[in-house]
Amino acid sequence: MKKLLPTSIAGSLPKPSWLAQPETLWSPWKLQGQELVEGKQDALKVSLQEQQRAGIDIVSDGEQTRQHFVTTFIEHLDGVDFEKRETVRIRDRYDASVPTVVGAVSRQKPVFVEDARFLREQTDQPIKWALPGPMTMIDTLYDAHYKSREKLAWEFAKILNQEANELAAAGVDIIQFDEPAFNVFFDEVNDWGIAALEKAIEGLECETAVHICYGYGIKANTDWKKTLGSEWRQYEEIFPKLQASNIDLISLECQSSRVPMDLIKLIRGKKVMVGAIDVATNVIETPEEVADTLRKALRFVDADKLYPCTNCGMTPLSRQVARGKLSALSAGADIVRKELLI
Ligand SMILES: [Zn+2]
């Protein structure tokens, strides 16, 4: 029988201090060349082991092999100049210096496929691999070539589809696309964002997920959340179209968030990765708090479609806090699993 409430993490885990500066986004690598290759693989093993020790069911690389969830993928593509930088407003929220699209974008060779194969060799558990979504990619760049967000997203979707097909062939069970931009640009999501995502998953043999959150626990995001009022209804704008899409799983931010849980009704039929761990605080949830969030979600999603998860990536947290949160997630899911089996 398939295990009920399989746990997983939305994205990253903190990196060891010998690999990169901890508790920092875009932290530079501390190793180079072959040492870096081996260092990343060692970190991946540690990250995998920490998930396993905590009892996480669907494991990942903890994003140990990438500096940032969007830019590392883009770095491997042609058509983007990382020396030529422009300041743009990301997610309509904060300014950042980003690379420029200077010509047609393309992928000459696989980006993460070797890393995924390495992870596959380490475990027989189901594995999940994250890629940036097309809309979030274009929102992290300055485009001096296509001059159209939609056109550039479509080109990225085609590239992501090549990568995703190779990841599936390498044994990845779930490919997840990170689309925090879906929580901001509703008109674009409905006009072409979901269509671009479906292009990215075209023909895939494995399961597919989309992760839509309110971002890492960095100041720009926590400040933004304060402006969103008492009920966060962003998901409501995009759920109807997502419900009708071919995506299998939808990963959401639910712990300590002001998202009304009943919005999940709008994606009936989908598997829902319910964020039951808040990544914007160092306070470790109790198993009972995690269980409480899962129970609330169970009012709106069938038990066989509930996947306990974290709200977002844990890169900015300390390793000790992240470990505590992994265990809390696992223990909280266990409480509810037992209740369901009674
Ligand atoms: Zn996220």
Strand partners, 89: 95
Per-residue HEC secondary structure of 259-276 comes to: CCHHHHHHHCCCEEEEEC
Q: Report CA-CA distances (Å) from 21 to 24, 44, 57, 281.
A: 6, 16, 28, 19
Cβ atoms of 250 and 270 closer than 8 Å: yes
Rounded to an integer, what distance in angstroms lies between the CA atom of residue 234 and that of residue 54?
32
Answer yes or no: is 9 within a domain: no
Q: Which residue has the tokens 């269509």?
A: 195
The confidence score (pLDDT) of residue 342 equals: 78
The confidence score (pLDDT) of residue 117 equals: 98
Q: State in Å: Cα 215 to ligand 1 middle.
A: 5
Q: State in Å: Cα 66 to ligand 1 middle.
A: 15
Q: State in Å: Cα 107 to ligand 1 middle.
A: 25
If you average pLDDT over every residue of the chain, what do you get?
A: 95
The confidence score (pLDDT) of residue 127 equals: 98
Q: State in Å: Cα 264 to ligand 1 middle.
A: 18
Answer yes or no: is 14 within a domain: no
The domain spanning residue 63 has which CATH number? 3.20.20.210
pLDDT greater than 90 at residue 25 = no
Answer yes or no: is 175 within a domain: yes
Answer yes or no: is 13 within a domain: no
123-166: per-residue pLDDT in tens?
999 999 999 999 999 999 999 999 999 999 999 999 999 999 99
Answer yes or no: is 74 within a domain: yes
Answer yes or no: is 303 within a domain: yes
Q: State in Å: Cα 166 to ligand 1 middle.
A: 24
Q: State in Å: Cα 252 to ligand 1 middle.
A: 8
Q: State in Å: Cα 23 to ligand 1 middle.
A: 16
Q: State in Å: Cα 34 to ligand 1 middle.
A: 30
Domain extent, residue 80, equals 33-341
167-186: per-residue pLDDT in tens?
999 999 999 999 999 999 99
Q: State in Å: Cα 1 to ligand 1 middle.
A: 31
Answer yes or no: is 311 within a domain: yes
Answer yes or no: is 122 within a domain: yes
Q: State in Å: Cα 330 to ligand 1 middle.
A: 19
Q: State in Å: Cα 314 to ligand 1 middle.
A: 9
In percent, how much of the chain has pLDDT > 90?
88
Q: State in Å: Cα 65 to ligand 1 middle.
A: 17
The confidence score (pLDDT) of residue 215 equals: 84
The count of structural domains within the chain is 1
The confidence score (pLDDT) of residue 1 equals: 59
191-224: per-residue pLDDT in tens?
999 999 999 999 999 999 999 999 887 888 888 8
Q: State in Å: Cα 323 to ligand 1 middle.
A: 18
267-324: per-residue pLDDT in tens?
999 999 999 999 999 999 999 999 999 999 999 999 999 999 999 999 999 999 999 9
State mean pLDDT over 48-68: 96
86-116: per-residue pLDDT in tens?
999 988 888 989 999 999 999 999 999 999 9
Q: State in Å: Cα 266 to ligand 1 middle.
A: 20
The confidence score (pLDDT) of residue 27 equals: 85
Query: Could you list which residues have their CB under 5 Å from ion ligand 1?
Result: 213, 312
